[in-house]
């Protein structure tokens, strides 16, 4: 990924952990008021106050006082015994003003003296730069990641004038979930992303949870033709829905003075909107999280919303909470016939534990979603992806050429905060274009294929092979070494009869990912139990299994390897499987073998060159 630093953030040479140890950092005055309460006064013209973080600590509550008034509150795991990394608090908006941090730490102390020994107090730094140079070996090369800090769901995804905007749930003050803010990145090719300053910051109504954005070509909201209008959840003691708009393509968002625009007396979040042409109105889906249902609202103007129906109680996977809905119409099997697809993310309750995306296929009349039934007259449970690391997936609004392009969060709430990275946590999935196809059982299923833009990354073919017969003796192929081994592996398999074909990615450290295609069972299994670092969470080592829905014994695979993830797409996305891996060093070898009679009809291994 091209690393373009947002305006004003310049790379600094210093590593975040080499800190000046001084009780009186110039411009920072520390006064202890009690065992758990400290004032930090900031003086001078520096752009950033860099704050030392120790991840194992609890959050300190920091009230930012500007000229004596409470500006906002943030929660930061201030360092106690050692500093893991620094996070920047941007002082630009407060130039010429008096800034005081009123800090409440949660650690129980016996005395002020003990509290005053915390590492953080002498390690606040005033600086004009913040070092964002990547120092993480597991940071993906061709998947979107935040420049620093924690990320979860994709938000406010919209396409306008050739630019894809991807906002996201972001903690700018640490690499664990907190301080939810909409971060913002943009791209013209869905692969290389430019990082920008935060799009929407917490306010008196709460932190900024997930939501969506649309273009308003008819100016129904009154913010101007083609304004970008975003709806998000303001989350504090309750969850309410708020609106913001942008008339400069997403550069700046202005919050609606009449917020919130939707309130309920129970937990509801992640508003997702679209224009419904047949009824000439806006439709909004809202996750009624604990009720396991999606609420349907309509509006003429994006601010006055009427509740029309609820879908989902008792249907599909019902565990955990329902979150992040999306509803869109797709052609069936590339014909003129159309059906609606409701994405319904849930956590926990996924097929392999933790978070996952289920979906329903059906009809929608502008107010009510009616699901299709299976042969037994039941509403089937369907999964969009059969890995452990595909969540909060929703689509871009207004994508060109009638495309429906989705991006998910490539992690799982079971262990997202424990994965072995620190400067940043979490990446997005590859962008995928979705379509509907008829499975061998006659039902409609959602295919997720890598978006065409992904093909443009292909570099040199490092291996190409025609028809090759497979046996129990593995055939070995070298993977590319450039750029930490990032690659695409395309394989066409023809398993004759009851064969099992095994494809293994491995390295000299003994790390391996074992993928097994079972032609008789019509499944593909992905075993990451020995894939590298796995013991940071008991939920990480796993075998995930996908049904192969096509009606014959062939399977055509595209496998994308990017430093800490493997995404497997079968038969043009009819099967998708997304799994994180943390190999001690990049995988260097692909081995392919078979039990029973099988052919590899073709093989191509490409190096990838994302920023060409």
Residues making contact with ligand FRU (CB under 6 A): 152-153, 169, 180, 209-210, 233, 269-270, 323-324, 392
Nearer to ligand FRU, 216 or 323 (CB): 323
User: DSSP assignment of 214-282, as one string?
Assistant: EEETT-TTSS-TTEEEEEEEEESSSEEEEEEEESSTTSS-EE-TT--SB--SS--EEEEEEEEGGGTEE
Rounded to a whole number of angstroms, the minimum distance from the CB of residue 499 to ligand FRU is 40
Nearer to ligand FRU, 131 or 270 (CB): 270
Residues 227 and 203 sit within 8 Å (Cβ to Cβ): no
Query: Residue 371 and residue 364: Cα distance in Å, rounded?
Result: 9
Nearer to ligand FRU, 209 or 297 (CB): 209
What is residue 5's DSSP assignment? P
What is the 3-state secondary structure of 53-115? ECCCCCCEEEEEEECCEEEEEEEECECCCCCCEEEEEECHHHCCCCEEEEEECCCCCCCHHHH
The residue to which tokens 């089937």 are assigned = 380
DSSP, collapsed to helix, strand or coil, labels residue 350 as coil
Rounded to a whole number of angstroms, the minimum distance from the CB of residue 269 to ligand FRU is 5
User: CB burial class (10 A; 0-12, 13-18, 19+) of residue 200?
Assistant: buried
Nearer to ligand FRU, 169 or 192 (CB): 169
Sort strands 405-409 and 475-478 into parallel, antiparallel or unpaired.
Answer: unpaired
Rounded to a whole number of angstroms, the minimum distance from the CB of residue 310 to ligand FRU is 17
Sort strands 48-53 and 85-90 into parallel, antiparallel or unpaired.
Answer: antiparallel
Rounded to a whole number of angstroms, the minimum distance from the CB of residue 206 to ligand FRU is 11
460 is written with which tokens? 């040199």
Q: Which of 84, 153, 216, 553 is catalytic?
A: 153
**Measured at CB, which residue is nearest to ligand FRU?**
209
What is residue 503's DSSP assignment? E
Query: Residue 191 and residue 451: Cα distance in Å, rounded?
Result: 10
Nearer to ligand FRU, 94 or 177 (CB): 177
Rounded to a whole number of angstroms, the minimum distance from the CB of residue 482 to ligand FRU is 34
Rounded to a whole number of angstroms, the minimum distance from the CB of residue 237 to ligand FRU is 15
Percent helix, strand and coil across the chain, each to the nearest 5: 5, 50, 45
Nearer to ligand FRU, 48 or 168 (CB): 168
Backbone angles phi, psi at 483, to 5 degrees: 55, 45
Residues 265 and 272 sit within 8 Å (Cβ to Cβ): no
- 140 to each of 134, 146, 483, 507, 608, how far by Cα in Å? 11, 11, 10, 18, 12
Nearer to ligand FRU, 286 or 444 (CB): 286
Nearer to ligand FRU, 410 or 559 (CB): 410
Rounded to a whole number of angstroms, the minimum distance from the CB of residue 169 to ligand FRU is 4
Residues 433 and 449 sit within 8 Å (Cβ to Cβ): yes
* 153 included as an active-site residue: yes
Rounded to a whole number of angstroms, the minimum distance from the CB of residue 214 to ligand FRU is 18
Query: Residue 611 and residue 391: Cα distance in Å, rounded?
Result: 26
Active site residues: 153
């Amino acid at each position: 990924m091209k690393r373009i630093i947002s305006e004003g953030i310049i790379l600094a040479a210093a590593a975040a952990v080499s800190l000046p140890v001084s009780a009186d950092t110039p411009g920072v005055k520390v006064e202890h008021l009690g065992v758990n309460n400290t004032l930090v006064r900031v003086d001078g013209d520096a752009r950033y106050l860099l704050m030392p973080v120790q991840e194992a600590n609890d959050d300190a509550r920091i009230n930012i006082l500007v000229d004596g008034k409470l500006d906002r509150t943030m929660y930061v795991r201030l360092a106690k015994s050692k500093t893991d990394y620094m996070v920047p608090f941007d002082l630009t908006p407060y130039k010429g003003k008096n800034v005081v941090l009123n800090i409440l730490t949660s650690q129980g102390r016996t005395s002020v003296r003990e509290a005053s020994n915390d590492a953080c107090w002498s390690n606040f730094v005033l600086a004009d730069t913040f070092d964002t140079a990547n120092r993480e070996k597991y940071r993906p090369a061709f998947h979107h990641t935040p420049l620093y800090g924690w990320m979860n769901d994709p938000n406010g995804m919209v396409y306008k004038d050739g630019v894809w905007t991807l906002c996201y749930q972001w903690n700018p003050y640490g690499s664990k979930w907190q301080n939810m803010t909409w971060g913002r990145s943009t791209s013209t090719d869905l692969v290389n992303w430019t990082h920008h300053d935060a799009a929407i910051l917490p306010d008196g109504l709460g932190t900024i949870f997930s939501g969506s954005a649309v273009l308003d070509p008819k100016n129904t909201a009154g913010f101007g033709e083609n304004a970008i209008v975003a709806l998000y959840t303001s989350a504090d003691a309750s969850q309410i829905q708020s609106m913001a708009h942008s008339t400069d393509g997403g550069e700046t968002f202005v919050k609606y003075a009449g917020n919130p625009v939707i309130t309920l007396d129970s937990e509801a979040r992640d508003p997702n909107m679209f224009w419904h042409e047949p009824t000439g109105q806006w439709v909004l889906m809202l996750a009624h999280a604990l009720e396991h249902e999606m609420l349907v609202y309509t509006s003429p103007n994006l601010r006055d919303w009427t509740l029309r129906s609820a879908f989902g109680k008792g249907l599909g996977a019902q565990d955990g909470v329902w979150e992040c809905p999306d509803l869109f119409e797709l052609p069936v099997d590339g014909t003129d016939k159309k059906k609606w697809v409701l994405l319904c993310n849930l956590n926990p309750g996924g097929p392999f534990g933790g978070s996952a995306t289920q979906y329903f296929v059906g009809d929608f009349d502008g107010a009510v979603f009616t699901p299709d039934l299976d042969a037994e007259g039941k509403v089937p449970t369907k999964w969009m992806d059969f890995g452990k690391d595909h969540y909060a997936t929703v689509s871009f609004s207004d994508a060109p050429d009638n495309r429906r392009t989705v991006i998910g969060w490539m992690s799982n709430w079971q262990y997202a905060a424990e994965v072995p990275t620190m400067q940043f946590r979490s990446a997005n999935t590859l962008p995928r274009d979705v379509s509907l196809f008829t499975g061998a059982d006659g039902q409609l299923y959602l295919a997720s294929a890598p978006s065409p833009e992904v093909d443009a990354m292909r570099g040199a073919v490092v291996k190409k092979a025609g028809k090759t017969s497979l046996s129990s003796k593995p055939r070995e192929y070298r993977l590319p070494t450039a750029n930490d081994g990032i690659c695409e592996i395309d394989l066409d398999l023809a398993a004759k009869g009851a064969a099992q074909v095994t494809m293994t990615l491995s390295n000299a450290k003994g790390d391996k990912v074992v993928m097994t295609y079972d032609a008789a069972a019509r499944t593909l299994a992905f075993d990451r139990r020995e894939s590298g670092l796995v013991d940071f969470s008991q939920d990480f080592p796993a075998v995930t299994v996908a049904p192969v829905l096509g009606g014959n014994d062939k399977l055509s695979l595209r496998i994308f390897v990017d430093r800490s993830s493997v995404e497997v797409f079968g038969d043009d996305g009819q099967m998708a499987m997304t799994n994180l891996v943390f190999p001690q060093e990049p995988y260097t070898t692909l081995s392919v073998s078979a039990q029973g009679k099988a052919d590899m009809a073709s093989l191509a291994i490409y190096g990838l060159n994302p920023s060409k």
